[in-house]
């Protein structure tokens, strides 16, 4: 062991109560740091999960075929272009694209969908509906209908339909009842309500209905093509990059979830910044605490420092002894604080599993390593001033007495 470190340790252990208090103070700062990290991270996971849990991470649609101006953007000229409506937007050749998408590393779910608008008719009641047709075995792959199911089942055949709870209430529908569906293509069919779901998202619960993709193809006159492909990723943060990749390789429009949720992302960024500010204050407190404690110690040990210098200890050696004390305090306080933080966080369920009223805090995001690292660096930084003042002690002034 380095001799400077040995002396540093001796000095710290010579005054156990004082050192214990100092380390405890540092540990409390680290605890705040860890707790804030876990809370901010947990809130983000919770909010994203609530928002994005029921939608695709990337939605792939046919690219728009609107005419564009050959003149480009001319500031002084007002230009009108008419949207093309000669063709129904649809993805053709999905059978070639889907396997390619499935083979991409991040991609966990690829769902082909046929979507369209229409009305549900029950007796005199009529409600507009957004219909999504999916492969029956993928029915819970994008929006987790199975988790949100409140009645019936999610099994789909050619004549079953799953409806949101709001929609069911408005029409007075129950599981097993028959409802008439009329698509915007003018096709009609009678379907049986197989299940009712509540996802907690008004646009889905009040407006959405799910049918099998084959039923949807008939309803919306899309025998060959599909309307869109929805994708889930292993890491939803990667959505923008993966979407760009898909757009580039398929020529289709690929929209990541982030685009429609910019406000949420801005909110999360602001939240993270305020968290960083609080963490920064915690670090500053640690630095001030360590600096003042060590400065006090250099005054108390002035005469010993003078003796060491008289015995031929270099200024560097004295600096080392005090910086080592700072480092030891930082490491000890950091490890203890991070450990306490972990213990305090462990009773909380993960935010994605937290119940609605629960406390969304994420034990995985305690930032333990950076808490310990930053605290140690902070404590070393804090010790530099006291160490330099110790190294300047003039042996003559302390030996004379």
Residues that bind other proteins (CB under 8 A): 1-4, 6, 10-11, 14, 303-304, 307-315, 317, 395-396, 399-401
Which residue, 9 or 342, has its beta carbon nearer to other proteins?
A: 9
78: exposed, middle or buried (C-beta count within 10 Å: 0-12, 13-18, 19+)? exposed
Q: Which is nearer to other proteins, 312 or 347 (CB)?
A: 312
Find the shortest distance in angstroms from Cβ 395 to other proteins.
Answer: 5
**CB of residue 13 to other proteins, shortest distance in Å:** 8
**Residue among 247, 387, 368, 369 at smallest CA distance from 305:** 387
Q: What is the three-class DSSP state of 260?
A: helix
Name which of 149 and 398 has its Cβ closer to other proteins: 398
Smaller CB distance to other proteins: residue 234 or 310?
Answer: 310
Alpha-helix runs per DSSP H in 67-201? 94-102, 145-148, 165-171
CB 35 within 8 A of CB 345: yes
Kindly give, in sequence order, each residue whose CB lies less than 8 Å from that of residue 168, ignoring residues fewer than 6 positions away: 174, 193, 196
DSSP structural state of residue 117: E
d(CA 317, CA 315): 5
How far apart are CB 239 and other proteins at their closest, in Å?
54
Closer to other proteins by CB, 318 or 372: give it. Answer: 318
Least distance (Å) between residue 304 CB and other proteins:
6
What is the rounded CA–CA span in Å between residue 44 and residue 200?
18
Instruction: Identify the H or E element spanning 283.
Output: helix 262-300
Cβ proximity to other proteins: between 17 and 83 the closer is 17
Shortest distance in whole angstroms from residue 401 CB to other proteins: 8
Q: Minimum CB separation from other proteins for residue 293, in Å?
A: 17
Structure tokens belonging to residue 181: 């569906």
The residues pairing with 180 across neighbouring beta strands, listed in sequence order, are 121, 190
Torsion of CA 209, 210, 214, 215, to 10 degrees: -30
CB of 393 to other proteins, least distance (A): 12
| CB closer to other proteins, 131 vs 320 | 320
Question: Is residue 364 left, alpha or beta, with left meaning phi > 0 and alpha meaning psi from -120 to 50?
Answer: alpha
Token pair of 1 as six digits: 């062991």
Name the 3-class secondary structure at 221: coil
* CB closer to other proteins, 150 vs 399: 399
Degrees (nearest 5) of the Cα angle 275, 350, 202?
Answer: 85
CB of 309 to other proteins, least distance (A): 7
Cβ distance to other proteins smaller for residue 338 or 391:
391
Distance, in Å, from the CA atom of 118 to the CA atom of 387, rounded to the nearest integer, reads: 77
CA 172 to chain CA centroid, nearest Å: 38
Nearest approach, Cβ of 394 to other proteins (angstroms)? 8
């Amino acid at each position: 062991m380095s001799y400077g470190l040995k002396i540093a340790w001796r000095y710290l252990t010579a005054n156990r109560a004082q050192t214990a208090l100092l380390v405890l103070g540092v540990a409390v700062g680290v605890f705040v740091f860890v707790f804030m990290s876990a809370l901010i991270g947990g809130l983000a996971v919770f909010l994203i999960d609530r928002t994005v849990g029921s939608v695709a991470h990337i939605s792939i649609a046919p690219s728009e075929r609107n005419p564009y101006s050959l003149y480009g953007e001319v500031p002084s000229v007002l230009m009108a272009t008419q949207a093309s409506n000669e063709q129904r937007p649809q993805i053709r050749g999905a059978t070639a694209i889907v396997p390619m998408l499935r083979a991409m590393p991040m991609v966990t779910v690829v769902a082909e969908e046929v979507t369209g608008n229409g009305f549900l008719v029950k007796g005199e009641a009529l409600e507009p509906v957004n219909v999504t047709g999916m492969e029956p075995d993928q029915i819970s792959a994008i929006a987790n209908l199975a988790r949100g199911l409140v009645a019936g089942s999610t099994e789909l055949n050619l004549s079953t339909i799953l409806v949101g709870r709001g929609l069911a209430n408005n029409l007075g529908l129950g599981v097993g009842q028959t409802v008439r569906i009329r698509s915007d293509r003018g096709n009609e069919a009678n379907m049986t309500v197989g299940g009712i779901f509540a996802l907690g998202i008004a646009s889905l619960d009040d407006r959405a209905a799910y049918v099998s993709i084959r039923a949807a193809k008939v309803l919306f006159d899309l025998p060959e093509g599909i309307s869109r492909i929805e994708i889930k990723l292993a890491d939803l943060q990667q959505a923008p990059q993966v979407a760009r990749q898909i757009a580039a390789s398929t020529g289709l429009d690929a929209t990541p979830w982030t685009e429609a949720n910019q406000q949420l992302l801005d909110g999360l960024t602001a939240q993270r910044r305020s968290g960083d500010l609080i963490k920064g204050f915690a670090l500053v407190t640690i630095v001030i605490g360590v600096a003042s404690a060590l400065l006090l110690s250099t005054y108390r040990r002035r005469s010993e420092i003078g003796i060491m210098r008289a015995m031929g200890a270099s200024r560097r050696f004295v600096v080392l002894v005090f910086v080592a004390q700072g480092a030891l305090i930082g490491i000890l306080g950091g490890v203890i604080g991070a450990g306490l933080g972990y213990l305090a966080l462990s009773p909380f369920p993960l935010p994605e599993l937290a119940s609605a009223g629960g406390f969304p805090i994420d034990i995985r995001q305690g930032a333990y390593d950076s808490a310990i690292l930053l605290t140690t660096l902070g404590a070393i930084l804090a010790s530099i001033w006291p160490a330099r003042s110790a190294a300047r002690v003039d042996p003559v002034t302390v030996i004379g007495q």
